[in-house]
Amino acid sequence: MGDGRARLFTDGGARGNPGPAAYGLVLYDSDGNELLRRAKEIGRATNNVAEYAAVIAGLEFARRLGITGLDVYLDAQLVVRQLTGEYRTKDPRLAELKTRALALARELTAVRFHFIPREKNRLADSLVSAALDGRDPDTL
């Protein structure tokens, strides 16, 4: 690490799509130290809405902590491609969430979005399950 950029790992999921949904996120400083982890139920939503909710929440936490350089990692290829402009966002709800996420990203100055395989996002994924199961995320 030590490259001056914090790292944010996010995941969102729904049981039923749409169904009961939650997000999980873990934020690390540029040295790899965990700054925070969160898991939250968000009610009934689709997987993609939950993915965006995770990104938005993570960006808000990063902003509050004064982070300006951030790499965001998630295993939702569609969301990453929408955020990077590779894919258009036709769904009005997702377009609204994308606009919010990109506005937050601009406030942080230097944010990059990255797709990673699910197996490299295990903690954030586990946090989603913990939230949906009513388990304490701090025990993971």
- Between CA 101 and CA 122 the distance in angstroms is 23
Edge-to-edge order in the sheet of strand 6-14: 34-45, 19-28, 6-14, 69-74, 110-115
Only one residue has tokens 């400083």, namely 29
- Between CA 61 and CA 64 the distance in angstroms is 5
State residue 138's pLDDT score: 81
For the chain, domains (ranges, CATH) are: 1-36+56-87+121-135 (3.30.420.10)
- Between CA 43 and CA 94 the distance in angstroms is 16
Q: Are 6 and 28 in contact (CB under 8 A)?
A: yes
Q: Are 74 and 52 in contact (CB under 8 A)?
A: no
State residue 3's pLDDT score: 64
- The two three-digit tokens of residue 1, written as one number: 């690490």
State residue 44's pLDDT score: 98
Asked if the model's pLDDT at residue 73 lies above 70, the reply is yes
Average pLDDT over residues 1-26: 91
pTM, full prediction:
0.96
State residue 137's pLDDT score: 84
Asked if the model's pLDDT at residue 34 lies above 70, the reply is yes
Amino acid at 54: A
Average pLDDT over residues 116-130: 97
Specify the higher pLDDT residue, 73 or 138: 73
- Between CA 44 and CA 72 the distance in angstroms is 24
